[in-house]
Amino acid sequence: MSLQDFRIVSELIRNPLESYEKIGSKVGISGISARSRIQKMYRSGLIKGIYLIPSPQNFEMHPRTYVFKNVDSPFQKLSIIAAVNGVVFAWIDYDNDMIITVFFKSDLEKAKILDNLSIIVGTKPITDYIPNSLLPPNLSSSRLSRIDWKILEHVAFNPRMSVAEISRLTHLSRKTVQGHLNGMLSERKLYALYISDFTKINGGILYGLLVFFNYPEVMGRLLKMGLEPIWFMTEPIGATLLGFAESLVDVELLKKKAQDMEGITRFDINVPTGGMFAKERLKSWIKGEIDKWNSASFH
């Protein structure tokens, strides 16, 4: 991965719907060059997929993320994990840690999912937490409308689809489609999930940071390190950022430097080497929500 590719991926994660021209202008290249680079990253596996996920509240579910340390043969277990009911996505860190996010409706369902995962992985998780990046700032306004679901059915698994094509498939005007897409993203009703495979890539490394800090001015110092903000939270104060490094050694040096900064209360770093997304499961959930809107009983 090159520094320019990193910047392009950062823009795609911020807004998967952004035009090639806008992406190119932000990274200093033409729209044609941006498109060519993105297509090359897809072919190489650097981008396996970028998807749009509704907040779990839209499915009347709760999210939870589990961290399993030093998993044996993690890549062979990804497909088995994908079959566990409730699993949405998982990724493997460079030291074979596995991070798995699930959606569930009840504590009993959550317990069953965790039991299944522990058997497959061969160990219990060292920690679990609520992934705040999947929660909108205002839960009461996170619900998708009937038109939102109609659009999402087509765009969730193909965010680069043109507004004109979505308009044709949904029989909605382009203005309506664009307005609802902008609203869903700006109100954080949708989240971009980036799945990659770094085992096939030589060169620089893209890594993710989850940082919690006491003082707002800490963010300014982190940005000066060349980090790209993707998502912010206010309670507690924190942010998700992306970074680019030439090697794992450089990543570890940055981690030490940032952890020594006054005001940092928590600092998590990951370098994904591969992952999975339960695409068919999410398709089924989305279809279920659309069926509710189309049924008389839902009204």
Which tokens hold the place of 26? 């932000």
How far apart are the C-alpha atoms of 62 and 55, rounded to whole Å? 9
Determine, yes or no, domain membership for 24.
Answer: yes
Tell me if 213 sits within 8 A of 219, measured CB to CB.
Answer: yes
Lowest mean pLDDT among 51-65, 85-99, 229-243: 229-243
Which tokens hold the place of 85? 């009911």
Determine, yes or no, domain membership for 42.
Answer: yes
Which CATH number fits the domain that encloses residue 22?
1.10.10.10
The string of DSSP letters for 209-278 reads EEEEES-THHHHHHHTTT-EEEEEEETTEEEEEEEEESSHHHHHHHHHHHHTSTTEEEEEEE-EEEEEE-
Question: Domain limits at 9?
Answer: 1-47
Task: Please write the tens of the pLDDT for every residue from 176-223.
Answer: 999 999 888 888 788 888 887 666 556 678 888 888 888 888 888 888
DSSP letter, residue 58: G
Determine, yes or no, domain membership for 35.
Answer: yes
Q: Could you give phi then psi for residue 18, rounded to 5 degrees?
A: -65, 145
Determine, yes or no, domain membership for 23.
Answer: yes
Which tokens hold the place of 3? 């520094």
Determine, yes or no, domain membership for 37.
Answer: yes
What pLDDT was estimated at residue 104? 96
Determine, yes or no, domain membership for 187.
Answer: no
Q: Based on the structure, what is the number of domains in the chain?
A: 1
Determine, yes or no, domain membership for 58.
Answer: no
This prediction has a pTM of 0.83
Cis peptide preceding 131, ω within 30 of 0: no
Task: Please write the tens of the pLDDT for every residue from 128-148.
Answer: 888 877 776 666 667 899 999
Amino acid identity, residue 237? Answer: I
Determine, yes or no, domain membership for 8.
Answer: yes
Q: Could you give phi then psi for residue 209, rounded to 5 degrees?
A: -125, 140
